Amino acid sequence: AVSVALFTADLRLRDNPVLHGALRDAPEVVPLFVVDDGVRAAGFRVPNRAAFLADCLADLDAALRERGGRLVVARGDVVAETCRVAAAVGAATVHLAADVSGYAARREERLRVALAADGRRLTVHDGTVTAVPPGAIAPQGKDHFAVFSPYFRRWDAMSLRDVLRAPRTVRVPEVRSARLPTAPGLASGTPSPGLPEGGESAARRRLRAWERGPLDAYADRHDDLAGDATSRLSPYLHFGCVSANELVHRARRHGGAGADAFVRQLAWRDFHHQVLAARPDAAHRDYRDRRSEPWRNTDALAGAVTAWREGRTGFPVVDAAMRQLAHEGWMHNRGRLLVASFLTKTLNVHWRVGARHFLDLLVDGDLANNQLNWQWVAGTGNDTRPNRVLNPLSQARRFDPRGDYVRRWVPELAGIEGRAVHRPWRLDADLDYPDPIVEPW
């Protein structure tokens, strides 16, 4: 007997319920990844994530080869290709991770129907992408939590499934495979120069360095822009190179205030996933509009939006964060908050404009976390203070008190010492740096 493990956002061997389920089912398994035309058509395959994905697939293939197997790659429509491979090897069952976007829900349904028409079965595994499955906890009479604090109380009391070991051997039957994709084969365009390396092996290295180093100080230091004291595990979580379930288990075992604060952030990830699972249209539409200010016409603000994208707004901390995004395909959470507030609350440009730019560049770019965090900041989401505006100057003074973050990312200002770097317009200096695009306040 043979089964198929269809990899999606779970590109790992450790703690992978999909692979585990497939191996329990049958002595031979096809570990399958389909380079899905639907993902490209949705505009979701961009150079940064393509480069990271290529690393992930190469690493997964190498790890499977160490265990006697290999990754099988197909290209095209994910449903048609999975059915073709299942038929070629005579698999009775295909295993898949439950996921939350509208696209993932349609994929699952189409796959179930198409496999059933061939007399095959689809087995869907919860708790692969998130630690607590969406829908596992909900307020009385509702399908999801709209506010984080009560969600977190219930989430924190849940017992999680045990962490699954990586299999020792994986026997793969004879079946045709396309070549492993390269980054240019996945998306055209040039990736950012400072991208992290993708894959489960790189995720394990980062995780070990995180646990040995910054984790204990995370509660106090996570907002320090220059200190870079967060885990940077988000791209690995996005592609499933490490599981949220394992991270929560390990952090709880590690213990302490830093680990507690880290677990709380992982709960935010699950929180947004359960919102999107219940309201997939929130990826594109306002979750609930409680803004007091109307949106301004983006065409009239085209110059300001371009300046924001390019990190030339004249507000150094905003520009530093936008340039970090362009260079690394990643931005510090405090940076994300303040640049999103600047676009949606100061310029009053619609959150979708900013969310699209983020999705074009972020390696961790993810519908649940990106769209819903944008909505949170914009005042159309779950924030209990929808009309709060973050002032870039007070944010800079609090979270980059010495100005190191700005000097690192804005070379035009690198010669200015101390916190004066946050207000270059006050200096009597000839700087090759723009004036603020709105009056500083």
For tokens 């049958």, the residue is: 26
Cβ closer to ligand FAD: 316 or 335? 335
Whether residue 218 is annotated as binding a ligand: the answer is: yes
Whether residue 262 is annotated as binding a ligand: the answer is: yes
Whether residue 230 is annotated as binding a ligand: the answer is: yes
Cβ closer to ligand FAD: 74 or 229? 229
158 and 244 Cβ atoms separated by less than 8 Å:
no
Whether residue 169 is annotated as binding a ligand: the answer is: no
CB of 360 to ligand FAD, least distance (A): 11
Cβ closer to ligand FAD: 316 or 365? 365
Whether residue 256 is annotated as binding a ligand: the answer is: no
CB of 337 to ligand FAD, least distance (A): 5
Cβ closer to ligand FAD: 32 or 377? 377
Whether residue 366 is annotated as binding a ligand: the answer is: yes
Measured CA to CA, the distance from residue 14 to residue 20 in angstroms comes to 9
241 and 11 Cβ atoms separated by less than 8 Å:
yes
Positions in the binding site for ligand FAD (CB under 6 A): 222, 230-234, 237-238, 262, 265-266, 268-269, 272, 333, 336-337, 340, 358, 362, 364-366, 369-370, 373-374, 377
Q: What is the CA radius of gyration of the chain?
A: 23
Cβ closer to ligand FAD: 4 or 337? 337
Cβ closer to ligand FAD: 3 or 101? 101
Edge-to-edge strand order for the sheet containing 72-76? Answer: 72-76, 28-36, 2-6, 93-97, 121-125
CB of 208 to ligand FAD, least distance (A): 15
CB of 88 to ligand FAD, least distance (A): 36
How many of the other CB atoms lie within 10 Å of CB of 109? 12
How many of the other CB atoms lie within 10 Å of CB of 226? 18
If you count them, how many residues does the chain have? 441
Cβ closer to ligand FAD: 88 or 390? 390
Whether residue 228 is annotated as binding a ligand: the answer is: no
CB of 423 to ligand FAD, least distance (A): 24
Whether residue 152 is annotated as binding a ligand: the answer is: no
CB of 83 to ligand FAD, least distance (A): 31
CB of 184 to ligand FAD, least distance (A): 23
Cβ closer to ligand FAD: 335 or 424? 335
Whether residue 130 is annotated as binding a ligand: the answer is: no
Q: Using the CB atoms, write b or e for 66-99: b if 16+ within 10 Å.
A: ebebbbbbbeebbbebbbebbeebebebbbbbbb
Residues 6+ apart with CB under 8 A from 323: 311, 409, 410
CB of 431 to ligand FAD, least distance (A): 29
Binding residues for FAD: 218, 230-234, 262, 364-366
Binding residues: 218, 230-234, 262, 364-366
